[in-house]
Amino acid sequence: MENTHKLLIIVGSVREGRFGPVVGSWVAEQARQHGGFDVDVIDLADIDIPLVLPAAPPKYAGDSYPRPARMAALTSALEEADAFIVVTPEYNHSYPASLKAAIDWHFTQWTAKPVAFVSYGGAAGGRHAVLHLENVLTELHAVTIRDGLAFPNYFTAWEDGRPLDPAAPGYAKTLLDQLAWWAGALRSAREAAPYPA
């Protein structure tokens, strides 16, 4: 579809008994209802992401970076996306190692593309995780979106797969509006001229 942007929602936690897929499903529903996106969801629990990296960093290797074949679905989903939403919990005031591994195996796939965040956790609602992700993704030339969605004490704030706060869909729409704006602006810019990374 011409006027839609390819959105990849990344479910970042892979822990046994995790809550991440519940949040990911709700975010995907909001994104589909928004209408501005062609929505894809990738769950990092479905991808085998080794911690041992090749000798050279992916920044300079481009397509020849030697990734395991079992990572191909993740790499092509990142490559094809015009925009990302990272769904992350907070582990020890940061984001899970599964997300860091997925990020570190890639570089150009993030460049000059917008990333928004939906987080959840205890009192801070995963905001420490998002602060760290903003810092890391800026290094990969991604553009992070200011308006995120954070769910503090998610264990009392969700019921039957959706947040109890009636304002949550409105906050999601604001996030998605901003993400769509940036996705269009950055796609036009990437098409007009190669990004000077």
Ligand X SMILES: Cc1cc2nc3c(=O)[nH]c(=O)nc-3n(C[C@H](O)[C@H](O)[C@H](O)COP(=O)(O)O)c2cc1C
Using CB under 6 A as the criterion, which residues of the chain lie in contact with ligand X when the complex forms? 13, 15, 18-20, 89-93, 121-122, 124
Q: Least distance from C-beta 171 to ligand X, angstroms? A: 19
CA 4/CA 9 separation, integer angstroms? 15
Nearest to ligand X of 45, 53 (CB atom): 45
Q: Least distance from C-beta 132 to ligand X, angstroms? A: 11
Asked if 102 contacts 126 with a C-beta cutoff of 8 angstroms, the reply is: no
Nearest to ligand X of 130, 143 (CB atom): 130
Nearest to ligand X of 122, 194 (CB atom): 122
DSSP H/E element including 163:
strand 162-163
CA 110/CA 132 separation, integer angstroms? 16
∠54-56-43 over CA atoms, to 5°? 50
CA 143/CA 189 separation, integer angstroms? 13
CA 137/CA 114 separation, integer angstroms? 10
Please, which residues bridge with residue 43 across strands?
A: 11
Nearest to ligand X of 13, 30 (CB atom): 13
Q: Least distance from C-beta 139 to ligand X, angstroms? A: 23
Q: Least distance from C-beta 179 to ligand X, angstroms? A: 22
Nearest to ligand X of 13, 75 (CB atom): 13
Q: Least distance from C-beta 138 to ligand X, angstroms? A: 22
